[in-house]
Amino acid sequence: MTDVFNKVLRPRSRISRNGDMKVRRRDLGRQRRRVGILFMLPAFALVAAFLGIPILQAVYYSFTQWDGLTATWVGISTYTHELQYPIFWRVLENNGLLLLGIPVAMLLPLGIAFLLNEKVPGWKFFRSIYFLPTAISWVVIGMVSLRFFAQQGLLNGILQGFGLGFIHTDLLSSERGALLAVAITFIWSMVGTNTIIFLTGMATLDNSLNEAARMDGASNFRIFRSITLPQLQRFIQFSFIITVISAFTALFSLIFVMTEGGPGFGTTTLEFFIYQSAFSHSDYGTGAMLGVILFFMMAVLGIGQLAIMRNKD
């Protein structure tokens, strides 16, 4: 009888022990979450104080006519009026045209990173040269570009030296030409950053795949297209996000030094338009409203990118 009794009780004791272990693990998980939340509260409070509150204030002032001292509530009409303003759409068009340079700002560093990763002769020297733009401020880059693209600048001097003086350029004097000069400068300034991103990604790849492909007779281009690119997907996505955000939010100093948004509104981006509205025309309500629009655009871009990455995972 005792043997039968023990056989009957043993499975039940094991079941009870497993149940106790699950309960303990669940309790431990809850305790860890509580501790994590507790440690997160100070950082959350700082972020809310220095970022959340100003963002909420900007949203509030975007519905007002605000001169910096007094704010009069006008409601949604601030947005509807701005959406009917032709200059607003011209500014967004300039941003859209700058986005056309993003493929070049990514493909060029991708090719450079591939060559540097292959340890071509002088690759250490060239790596330092391509990294140089990331160590220079946008103001210095803008001043150099201003002198390069000027009517009596370095570009025309180079053309004159090669016997092409009849191709006399003055890009900064026309709206589309000035925007092209800004786009070229922007692409050059992003070469170093994106090259570093792609070099970092290539350093994490499994070289055995490349060696196996070379043994099978694959060319370098085939290896790059079929093996390297698929493994760099996350780094390409990160580079794309950084480049798009820079095109929308990092060109103020560059445009201010090179063109001041002109000629006309030829190089005025949404970021620069916020400055003009708020500080040049003292219309802080419109500046806040444009800032909210820019924030919403960047938030949609970031959320969309996160959704794409999660779906691929």
CATH number of residue 222's parent domain: 1.10.3720.10
Same domain, 44 and 183: no
pTM flag (> 0.85): no
Check if the beta carbon of residue 178 is closer than 8 Å to that of residue 259.
yes
Same domain, 115 and 181: yes
pLDDT bin (cut points 50, 70, 90) of residue 119 is confident
Stretch (H or E) spanning 65: strand 64-66
SS (HEC) of 159-205? HHHCCCCCCCCCHHHCHHHHHHHHHHHHHHHHHHHHHHHHHHHHHCC
pLDDT bin (cut points 50, 70, 90) of residue 18 is low
The C-alpha angle 232, 238, 243, rounded to 5 degrees, equals 120
Same domain, 87 and 150: yes
Query: What's the CA gap between 4 and 286, in Å, rounded?
Result: 85
Q: Which residues pair with 71 in a beta bridge?
A: 66
The C-alpha angle 70, 74, 76, rounded to 5 degrees, equals 135
Characterize 100-125 residue by residue with b for buried, 16 or more Cβ atoms within 10 angstroms of its Cβ, and e for exposed.
Answer: ebbeebbebbbebbbebbeeeeeeee
Could you list the residue range(s) of the whole structural domain that residue 171 is in? 77-312
Instruction: Tell me the average pLDDT across 33-41.
Output: 86
Whether the per-residue pLDDT at 102 is higher than 80: the answer is: yes
Decide if 64 is inside a domain. no
Lowest-confidence region among 18-27, 53-62, 241-250, 286-295: 18-27
Same domain, 161 and 295: yes
Decide if 126 is inside a domain. yes
Residue-level pLDDT at 9:
47
